[in-house]
């Protein structure tokens, strides 16, 4: 006998999460930052009058641009664990959000969101009001950086010895083949830990490369 019963399927809607702080612009502006896949915005709000005003302004904007909204009441927006647990529950019921807004809300709430972002590889989005720009941080790159640091720490440490290197110089210093060092350098360039500073890469004009400021930060060393 064929069972013709239709099973109810939970279709997850691509959504983002933001704290409904006291400045609605900080919540609204990222919605215009090219995140066309956002279908719903989840607002974590308190009962504070200014938080409610932000929710009202954001709801009005979202309605105009075709984005659904959902409100979740937070008892204490300064409670790190409440923010963390609330977003964890949201994820368990709705899946991973496509981004988290870390511009609006107090630092302690943003810290909780950043921790979840790192744990679950969720992009962070922030609005830089001074330069009127949207910044996206892909925290999944953090794990990649530490993997590269562990794997190529000897190479990165050697690069600290002087400002510029060629492939041949680095291969000789590490007692490795040029082809082996070339593969390492390619991966370090892709991770934005080294960059070319001169040369075309031709036989008579080899590349000279150097560590980037990001590499110095990863190594915990002050840039020269």
**What parts of the chain have a pLDDT lower than 50?**
1-11
**Distance in Å from the first CA to the final CA of the chain:** 77
**Domains 15-138 and 142-219 belong to one CATH topology:** no
d(CA 120, CA 35): 19
pLDDT of 149 reads 81
pLDDT of 7 reads 35
Please write the tens of the pLDDT for every residue from 61-100: 999 999 999 999 999 999 999 999 999 999 999 999 999 9
pLDDT of 201 reads 64
Closest CA to 65 of 101, 27, 98: 27
Domains of the chain, by residue range, sit at 15-138, 142-219
Which class does domain 15-138 fall in?
Answer: alpha beta
pLDDT of 202 reads 66
Fold of 142-219: Arc Repressor Mutant, subunit A (1.10.10)
Closest CA to 44 of 12, 96, 82, 6: 82
pLDDT of 34 reads 58
Q: Within 10 A of 54 (CB to CB), how many other CB atoms are there?
A: 25
pLDDT of 61 reads 94
């Amino acid at each position: 006998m064929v069972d013709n019963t239709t099973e109810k399927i939970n279709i997850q809607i691509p959504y983002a999460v933001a704290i409904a702080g006291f400045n609605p612009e900080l919540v609204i502006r990222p919605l215009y930052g090219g995140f066309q896949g956002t279908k719903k915005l989840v607002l974590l709000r308190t009962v504070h009058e200014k938080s409610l005003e932000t929710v009202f302004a954001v709801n009005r904007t979202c309605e105009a641009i075709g984005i659904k909204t959902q409100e979740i009441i937070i008892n204490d927006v300064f409670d790190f664990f409440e923010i963390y647990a609330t977003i964890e529950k949201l994820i368990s019921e709705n899946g991973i959000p496509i981004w988290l807004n870390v511009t609006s809300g107090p630092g302690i709430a943003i810290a909780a969101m950043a921790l979840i972002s790192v744990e679950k590889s969720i992009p962070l989005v922030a609005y830089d009001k001074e330069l009127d720009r949207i910044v996206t941080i892909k925290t999944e790159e953090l794990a990649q950086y530490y993997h590269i640091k562990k794997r190529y720490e000897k190479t990165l440490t050697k690069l600290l010895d002087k400002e510029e290197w060629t492939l041949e110089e680095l291969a000789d210093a590490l007692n490795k083949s040029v082809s082996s060092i070339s593969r390492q350098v390619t991966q370090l360039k892709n991770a934005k830990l080294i960059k070319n500073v001169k040369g075309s890469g031709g036989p008579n004009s080899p590349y000279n490369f150097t560590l980037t400021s990001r590499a110095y930060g990863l190594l915990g060393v002050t840039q020269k």
